[in-house]
Amino acid sequence: MAYYFDEPSRTFGEYLLVPGYSSSECIPASVNLSTPLVKFRKGEEPTIKLNIPMVSAIMQAVSNDTLAIALAKEGGVSFIFGSQSIESEAAMVARVKNYKKGFITSSSNITPDATLADIIDLKERTGHSTVAVTDDGTANGKLLGIIGSRDYRVSRMDPMTPVRDFMTPRERLVTAPDGTSLKECNDIIWDHKLNALPLVDKDDHLTYLVFRKDYESHKENVNELLDKNKSYIVGAGINTRDFKERVPALVNAGADVLCIDSSEGYSEWQKNTIAWIREKYGDSVKVGAGNVVDAEGFQFLADCGADFVKVGIGGGSICITRETKGIGRGQATALIDVCAARDRYFEETGIYVPVCSDGGIVHDYHVTLALAMGADFLMLGRYFARFDESPTNKVRINGQYLKEYWGEGSNRARNWQRYDLGGAGKLSFEEGVDSYVPYAGPLKDGVYTTLAKVRSTMCNCGALSIPELRKKAKLTVVSSTSIVEGGSHDVILKEQVQG
């Protein structure tokens, strides 16, 4: 007869935090959100700590080098998606590690033969007002001109007007040679009243852009996550198939931490992958594993040597694993069970293995609930896919801006390595969907708002750190009627009347 768990499988939406005593010292500005990313021994410090408890999911629609840089600036880590060629993933990691703060690789580029209509379309997709005109339309082509928002007026120009007719041509541009320091670039921008300064190499190929608007923002990144060489910290996803080739390439590219990307981690495949990494690199290469949903799964991966363990099966917004296979567990219940196992493991071995909650986050307050339930940090997909810096297209549908978002188990991703059980190298059926999410602007603004709510709620609980929140948090299960009561009810919203 099958084993039955005593408790029902619950989600974050079924819980609320009960406020505790807040002293006058409990103000959001005093809250410390730092948290360990990788395991450590009692009395020691982890080799990598996050400044905010957020990492981005190992997904094509979420984690590329652009988002990795943006998230590292805020204090979190991106795990570059592994469902691409080894060379491509390693190149993304290298771009993050080689990124020079303030020096932006142009992501909006066009050829002089393009038209105003192409410029409008490009701006719609990227949201960028500054477009580099190069001979081949790439970020490192020969610089021929720059187009800014002042160079054209849509209402007064033919959409088929060639770019070369209204761009600011190369001979009129103020540029600086590649290698110019950021301070010198900012002085040039100030002296010439520029919005953007192109940097070019000896052959006049574009290398970087430095923007006026970024000057102040560089001072604001107080939480940026840096390694000992002052480069941004970045993670990368691996699978249990080509790890013997992929791991060395990612390590050589500079990846700070790896994570096995799998829908179910309680397997010999993950054990073998971690064992190979330990045999070849010892503890110098950090690797997380998962996903699991109970204490047994955690114990298995911890014993295998995982540096952190991911929790969650079927809770992602684009995941249909539970629907197609009947496998999984409510995210809150799974997290509570695994975190209790982590604490027991720490008491028995003196080794603390951080727990990452992956999936199930619908509202910002769910982040605080997950931390209170024991998560050290959260992995988020849909949340980060909404922002400017994610790699997907921004589209306008029925007057609303959306961004594309698809699961790694969808046919679009074709990430069979994540889901197969030693089979034929293909997806037998889908475990993810292809969808849209509402566009949410810059990552920086979204993360700021979310963490402002987290800090405020922690103060309501009388906690100024994540470990303190776990000790002081009081959680209550809520009824379906309580959930309704918690939102606006029994009123007519103005927007409904005015609409």
Phi and psi dihedrals of 336, rounded to 5? -60, -45
Active-site entry in 185, 259, 319, 339: 319
| Dist. CA 309–CA 22, nearest whole Å | 32
| Dist. CA 384–CA 42, nearest whole Å | 33
CA angle 491, 17, 321 (to 5 degrees): 90
| Dist. CA 455–CA 476, nearest whole Å | 20
Is 418 one of the catalytic residues?
A: yes
Is 319 one of the catalytic residues?
A: yes
| Helix, strand, coil share (%) of the chain residues, nearest 5 | 35, 20, 45
| Cβ–Cβ under 8 Å, residues 308 and 292 | no
Burial state string for 100-119 with b = 16 or more CB within 10 A and e = fewer than 16: ebbbbbbebbbbbebbbebb
Active-site entry in 26, 418, 455, 459: 418
Strand, helix or coil at 177?
strand
| Dist. CA 36–CA 38, nearest whole Å | 6
Q: How far is CA 164 from the centre of its chain?
A: 37
β-strands 176-177, 196-200 pairing:
parallel
47 residue type, one letter: T
The residues carrying an active-site annotation are: 319, 418
